[in-house]
Each structure stands twice: as C-alpha cells, then as structure tokens.
Chain A
Amino acid sequence: MTEKLVIIGNGMAPGRMLEELFEKAPGAYDVTIFNAEPRVNYDRIMLSPVLSGEKSYADIVIHDEAWYATNGVTLLKGARVTQIDRANRIVTAADGRTAAYDKLVIATGSSPIIIPVPGHQLPGVLAYRDLDDVDRMLEIARRGGRAIVIGGGLLGLEAAYGLKRQGMEVTVIHLMPTIMERQLDPPAAYILKKALADRGIDIITKANTKAILGTDKVEGIELEDGRVIAGEMVVMAVGIRPNAGLARDAGLTVNRGIVVDDGMATSDPDIYALGECAEHRGICYGLVAPLYESARALADRLSGGAADYQGSVTNTKLKVTGINLFSAGDFAEAPDREEIVLRDASAGVYKRLVLKDNRIVGTVLYGDTADGSWFFDLMKKGSDVSAMRDTLIFGQSFQGGVPLDPMAAVAALPDDAEICGCNGVCKGKITSTITAKGLTTLDGVRAHTKASASCGNCTGLVEQLMKLTLGDRYNPAAVVPMCGCTDLGHDDVRRLILAKGLKTIPAVMQELEWKTSCGCAKCRPALNYYLVCDWPDEYADDYQSRFINERVHANIQKDGSYSVVPRMWGGVTSAAELRAIADVVDKFDVPMVKVTGGQRIDLLGIQKEDLPAVWADLGKAGFVSGQAYAKGLRTVKTCVGTDWCRFGTQDSTGLGIRLEKFMWGSWTPAKLKLAVSGCPRNCAEATCKDIGVICVDSGFEIHFAGAAGLEIKGTEVLGMVRTEDEALEYIVALTQMYREQGRYLERIYKWAKRVGLDEIRRQIMDDADKRRSYFERFVFSQTFAQVDPWSERVSGKDKHEFSPMAVARLSEAAE
C-alpha cells in the first residue's frame, strides 16, 4: 500500500532526495510538497551567475512543472506550513491547506542573518538568498550608483562581483582582517583581494557597521570608526541561521538546527530533517555537496534501506569569472602540522597543503586549481603521502615523473574520486553512464549524471572523462560550430575545403550543407579568408563577404567617416613623404592627424567619397596602403639598430623593412604585427608582438605569440638563427603555418596555445623540409596578394563603392 510522504520545503536537498527515491522505489509514496516560495525547484548556488547576468532563471530551474506531474507529486506553491500536529500526523499551512502524513520530511532551509543595526529595515537593505533578492538587486542596479555589501565571505564576494558586472560601484565591508577567512589563509586572501580590486571592487577589512543611513530608503552606511560610505543598496551576506522554529514548536529536539541521527531522523522516528535546517553530529551544513550526500542517505532510508550519513568533508570554489580558487579542510598552523607552499607570483599561482601525520588536512589553491579534486580525494581518504611528499605540491600528473598530460591524470583517478563537487558525482558514475546510455555530448552527460550541470567548474574534467571513455568518438570541436549556419567547427570546415576541393563560397555552403541560403556576417568573412588562403591562384576574392574595412581599404570610424594609414616601411619616412601627407591634409581638410603605435601616420575623418582622391595623391608620392584595416600583415616596428644606436648589434631597421616588403599584402586569420629590436634592450617592444625578433651579437632570436591588447602576454621563443636570410625564412614559414591552421579571428598566440608550442618549434625549427614547403607556399601566395589595393581603386576598381547611387531631392516626389 502507498504511504503518504509529506515534505515541507522545496529546495535543492528535498529535490535531490526525491530524485533518488523515485529511482530506488518508484511508486512507494504518495508525495505532497509544501512550498513557501511561489516557484518550482531551482539551483540556488547558481544565483550568482544570474545576478552577474551570465545565466537566466530558466537556466537554473532543476525541476520544471512537468517533472512534478510525471512523478505524481502534489506541489502546493505559496503554502507556508505553520503547524505540525504529531499526534494526528497532520501538517497545516497558513492558508488552511492540510495534509496527512505517514512520513514527514522537514526541509525548511535557513534564513539569512540580518544584523539589527539602526536602519536595517530601510528599503534597499537586502539579503542574498533567493530569486526575489536577486530581482530586487537587479532593479536597483539598473539605476546605477554604489552597492555596499556587508560580509566578505563567499556569498558576499559573489554578490559584489555580480553587482559590479551589473554596472554598480561596489564596496565590501568585512569585519575580519582578511576576506573569506573560513576558507582561505591570509596569503590567498591577499591575492584574492587584489584580484577583486583589479575588477573594481573596493574591500574594507576590519570594518564594523555602526548604522545604515537614510530616511525613507538606503543612502549609505556609517562605520564604527566614523567613516561614511554613500550608496543606494546594502546587501547583508553575513551568514545563515537554520529555520528550526516549526520543529521546535512541534516539540522536536532542536539545537542550532533540528537534531538528526545518521539516518536523518529527528527525535520523532517518523519525522526527518534534511538540508540547511538540519544539524548532524553538531554541524549545520550550508554547502550543496553535503546536503546532497545526506539526501542520498535519507532516500535510502525511506525506501527501506539502512544507509548512514557519516558527515562530510567540504570544499569550496568561488564562482567569479576568471578567478580560480579552491579550498578544503583545515589550514590553521599548529605545532604538529607541516606545510608545503608553492608560489609563482608572475603566474598568479599560490598553493598550500597542510599536512598532519603525513596526511593532507587542508588545501588552498589559487590560480591553478586543476589538482583540487586530487588533493581533496587524498584528504578525504586520509592517504599517507610520505612517498610522494617531495613532488606532492606539483600535482597528480607529476607523480612518478610522468610528463604533464592531463589525460593521464584523469585516467589515474580512482572510480570513486569526486569529479563534480556540487552534485557529488564521482568518476565511475560518469564513465559508466556514458557507456550505458551511449552518451556522446556534454549536454547528454549533464542531463544523465548532473556532473558539470551546476557551477560548471568541473566541465574540463568531465570533458576529459568523455574523451577517455569515448576516444575519438568524442569531438569537443564539433560542439562549437562556426556560427548558427552550420554544425561544423572551423577546423572541420578548413579540412573539408581542402579534402573536397571546394573553391567558392557557394560550393562550401552546398557541399557542407549550410543551413542558411547565403551564410551570415560571421561565417562569410571566415570562409572568404579560408578560400583566399587555400587557393590563392584560383579563388576570386568575394568582396561582399569582407568586412567594410577590407572592402574599402580604410578603417570605418564611429561617425561613418574613414581613417587612412599609408605604409611607412619599418617606420622610416622622409621629408618628401611628410610633405605629401601634409598636402593631403590641407587639400582634403583632414580633421585629425595622429601618429600610430605601429610607427606610421593615421589620417582620420576622411569621407568615403574622398577616399580614391586621397589615395591618388598619396600614390603619387609613392605611398601604398598600410593595410591598417586588414586581418593581414600590419606593421613591422623597428628600432634604429647598428645604423645609429651605440648598443645595436644588427641592422634591425633593415631587417624590419625587408620583412615588411616581403610580407605586405598577405592575409592572415587575424591581424599580424611584427617588430625587430636591434638589441635585448628591445626598444621596438618586440616581445609583445605576434612575431618579434631580438637581435644579438650571434644572430637573431625569433619570438612569437605575444599579445598586448585585450590580453597582455609576453612572447614565446621560437628559436635562434644565425643570419638575416634565415630569420626571414623562419618567420615567413611560421606565418604560413599559422595562415593554414589558424581559425578566422584567432590571433597567433591563441593558435599557438591550441596546437602547442613544441609542435610549432618542431615543424619550423627542426624540420627543414616542412619549413621550406611552408615558405614556398607563402611566396606563391604573395604573387597574387601583393597588389596595392589603393592604386587598383584609383584606376577605377569597385567604383560603385565610393559614390552614392543617386541624389534625390524631396521636391521631385511632389512633381
């Protein structure tokens, strides 16, 4: 006979418990849920991404209406239970609805603590607990201003980051000397504070709030030391308190939370407590992983089993984009404890392991958290680490001297190693589900195992497991299509263009089954580049698939005018050239003349109709297009080298000019900027360029894969060559390799990261045949590419581009 199971509360813990229960004992219970919130069950730990705008409410729903219907669950929304009648086994809600039970689960969760300082009831004082709070925050954030977050713990910092992302100024007030002191040691807290400050979040530590100011809404706060901070919103994120009042009124044993045994039963054997309202062995948990573990135990008990919940060892990750932080266990210093610390300030890495009796008891990782789950696993199992102590800090893949192969590290994990901390999913569950259900996509694995379905921090690990289990059948590249017009990724498209001999955009779209008639603004320029690169002699460049700048050989500005940058080879110019530029400026009334970062001169504010005439005048002075607009070779920046400089070791100016004259006109996946410095003092700043050369006495050190834009990255060394001729050949070969393999808009440093520096060095430095063939393909391509686009247009090409089709007077219409 079906028993009646009543659940008070509809959060994540009872939701997970029911999933397990329906799997273990389908149909055993007639389930009724009382839910005080007017919603279905959603993923509370994902509130931060909703606040920061990275996810929406729909993304974080765990159980939709259909789930309740399918499983025959009666969900009473907006029903707050006010009484449990243990004698008659009936619960009653505030609105009068009642339900009789055979088994009752109390999952009333917790409430945020609001510090009762003066002003705490003003509108604009918020907690950070549920979707209503997030909605109110977003409403205030739309008006801008400053948000003050009280509490520099995990939740407070995530709230601060989310509000910053929503455009508010943010100040965090924290009572303790360092932030997140329960999870982080002071050095990690310091790095984190700095990283948050870089994101524009002010953090005031050792600060106690005296009062919240304002008359009818929040206007700011006053600290104990008298400081006043103005703001439009105060978010209290100082902690939570278990909601145990209902249980206390019903006469159940209550401490801080509702006291439960290892079977999650309260002092009444037919009543259980689950989630943040429960207290197990003296601990009230607030993180999702332990709640899910206890949910599993309860589901087992309710289906007739005898599982015991043993308590949990927890770990923490901060959900702030771009900050990798992992913390687990206890890391306070004590006489019987030892620590291992690794710091790499330039890479922003800090790792600390705390050992006791040769066992890990605490872990803090900042910057590089890849080994978090491995350390956590060693800690949970209490493994003796003395055998690998010397290299322990370098992580799992370093043990036994094996090379750093992430796949090997994942392969080495035992089946019971936890992969997804949020949902408590271990490796064996993921691999067996992939095999049993024939899963091939990340979404499929998420749907069936819940791994990586919450905060997403373990996505990389899950993908590696898929790769491990499926081998070549798992192709993550296929998951990222070029655009909405195709399911194929860039690499597949490039491969198929060559394999099938596709030589026009319509042919590519037809053969590769494009879903749109003529592509979109994302795929057309990419395809045009791939075809230009792969068939330089046969493909007719499709100007209608080029971005406007490459179509009219100038850079469009915000007002629809254009800027014009003529080439100055290696940044060297002359009186005649400067005079010609000055004449153009006068004749066309050019509003602004500016020296660029690439050692040449930019003429800004030229009307489109004037472009051909401007180019004609510049052409007469010997100028060609500087291609300052192109996904192609831009500038070669140089210093004055041995010609003038007392430190110069080689003719850097000469090499720069030679490179520019050799390579101009070539199209590349993204812009390509070069520089040549005549000595290691590096005045041409070659070590943040796409390709750079540092001249030394013994020859030329070739660098590549630098960046100084959205990202800042020093170059990597490709290798050293002895002569200028070699330098040219190696650089050209490298460029051609990038041209053939890069994805459209992928800068050389991203390409290099993807294919691997060693592979590039092997092909360019060590394999002379390969290098020579790259070089020759580039030279062949240049015979078609080195046509000055300006002089072409001066002589009439694409005339239609530069003049209006007609001029209509409005009065004509009346005639």
Chain B
Amino acid sequence: MSWVTIGRLEDIPPRGARCVDTPEGRIAVFRTADNSVFAMEDSCPHKKGPLSQGIVHGASVTCPLHNWVISLESGAAQGADEGQVRTIPVRNDNGILRLDLTELRVAAE
C-alpha cells in the first residue's frame, strides 16, 4: 500500500464531502458528523450521479439525482435498491487525510 496525502480534515465540512480528481475519475471524500472519513468513487451505481454532492447523514449519503442511499462504510446501496460503489481506503493521521490509490492504479493499467 502507498498513501497519497490529499489535505486536512478541516478542508471538508462536517456532514459534507469534497472531491479528489484522478486520471481514473473523481473520488468523493466524506466527513461525517462524528468526524469519520470515508472515500469512494464519485459515481452512483444507479445513473452515475455525483455522490459528493449528496446529503450526508449518519454513515450514509443520499445521491442528489434520484435519492439512492449509499452506505459510506461498504459502498452498498441501502434499502430496496441494489448496487455497489467501489470504496477507496482512506486514513486520518492526526488530521492529515491520505488515500490509497493502489487498486485504482491497477485498474488503470
């Protein structure tokens, strides 16, 4: 694993998200009310809606396009909907946020 620094916890509003651009597409990085941090591809399994633009509640986000609810922990669609978002490993080292893009790079090659 190799970790890439993307910024600080304070850069993301609580119950909010920011984006990280990579050549393989956008990654959404979420911060919950209790300051947990999650990362996943910024694309809803339903119609590719930008999840980073949704409302964050508990450890879930609701997609802004058609209200699918995605678990931030597992990337799985909740409730009656079926779908899976690829999650990205993320680490919070004393407020410094790092992503592990290894798998993304493997996928790119």
Q: Which chain A residues have a beta carbon within 8 Å of chain B's beta carbons?
A: 516-521, 524-525, 543-549, 552, 556, 558, 560, 800, 804-815
Contacts and interface: CB of A to CB of B under 8 A. Distances in A.
Interface size class of B (residues with CB under 8 A): 35 or more
A518 B100 CA distance: 29
Contacts of B105: 810-811, 813-814
Interface of B: 2, 4-7, 11-16, 18-24, 26-27, 29, 32-34, 47-50, 53-58, 60, 62, 64-65, 67, 69, 99-102, 104-105, 108
B58 A560 contact: no
A812 B23 CA distance: 12
Contacts of B18: 800, 804-805
B18 to A, nearest CB: 4
Which 9 pairs, one residue from A and one from B, show the smallest C-beta to C-beta distance? A521-B62, A805-B18, A806-B6, A544-B15, A548-B53, A521-B55, A560-B50, A813-B101, A548-B64
Contact of B21 (A519, A558, A807, A815): A807
A585 B2 CA distance: 43
Contacts of A812: 4, 101
Contacts of B49: 560
Contact of B57 (A519, A805, A806): A519
B33 A518 contact: yes
Given A556-B64, A558-B47, A517 B11 contact: no
12 contacts: A518-B32, A521-B69, A525-B55, A544-B16, A545-B15, A547-B55, A805-B12, A806-B7, A807-B21, A809-B23, A810-B22, A811-B105
Given A547-B55, A810-B104, A520 B62 contact: yes
A559 to B, nearest CB: 8
B53 A560 contact: yes
A810 B58 contact: no
Contacts of B47: 558
B32 to A, nearest CB: 8
B58 A806 contact: no
Nearest to B66: A558
A84 B6 CA distance: 81
Contacts of B56: 544
A604 B107 CA distance: 33
Residue of B6, B27, B34, B53 contacting most chain A CB atoms (<10 Å) = B53
A359 B107 CA distance: 80
A556 B47 CA distance: 13
A814 B23 CA distance: 14
A558 B26 CA distance: 16
A755 B34 CA distance: 41
A810 B57 contact: no
A32 to B, nearest CB: 40
A521 B57 contact: yes
Nearest to B31: A544
Nearest to A810: B105
A558 B58 CA distance: 26
Contacts of A800: 11-13, 18
Contact of B58 (A516, A543, A804, A809): A516
